[in-house]
A and B are shown apart, each in its own frame.
Chain A
Amino acid sequence: QLQLQESGSRLVKPSQTLSLTCAVSGGSISSGLYSWSWVRQPPGKVLEWIGYFYSGTTYYTPSLKSRVTFSVDKSKNHFSLRLTSVTAADTAVYYCTRGDCTTGVCPLDYWGQGALVTVSS
């Protein structure tokens, strides 16, 4: 059974960098059949897809593109998110997810439990 687990700093000061890592177990992030995404959800608000890497390509949502970077460590089977210059608006639960692209439509089928990151001084 695939499992994803987020880890990283849960309290970040304004203007600093948010860093999270998603450890994947029960499956390989090297498989070209799956995409690996980050999604966030501010408290009480809706879900926002941040971006993904898939088949050698990385895509970031335009509203965050200037501040976000994904990285992948295949040897450790984990992937990471960095978001720079954070503000209170970046306070959210951050989820890492897998997209099942075996049939082409890529639903996000496995999710981590989520990591609440608070931006506050």
Chain B
Amino acid sequence: DSGVTQTPKHLITATGQRVTLRCSPRSGDLSVYWYQQSLDQGLQFLIQYYNGEERAKGNILERFSAQQFPDLHSELNLSSLELGDSALYFCASSVAGHGHTFGSGTRLTVV
């Protein structure tokens, strides 16, 4: 157990729908990162939050949004889903200088 908790583990939904993925960071970690991993295995950085504030944006679609709450958990909202959004979505948290700790991911399947 890495200490980073992601729910749900699996999600199957239809095109056009909206889903919310949840991440609880490791205790004490202020930064939360979201990544998308497609079948070709590469990691795409989506967005980072630090202590409730958006800090960096990567290749995140306008249909996707995220937030970090006062208790530091984060949610990634994916809307108007398309078949191509099917992927693994990972959350990671970090403390300065020590690299990322990853959750086990949410596998999203859009049908």
A binds B: no
| Residues of A bordering B, CB below 8 Å | none
| Residues of B bordering A, CB below 8 Å | none
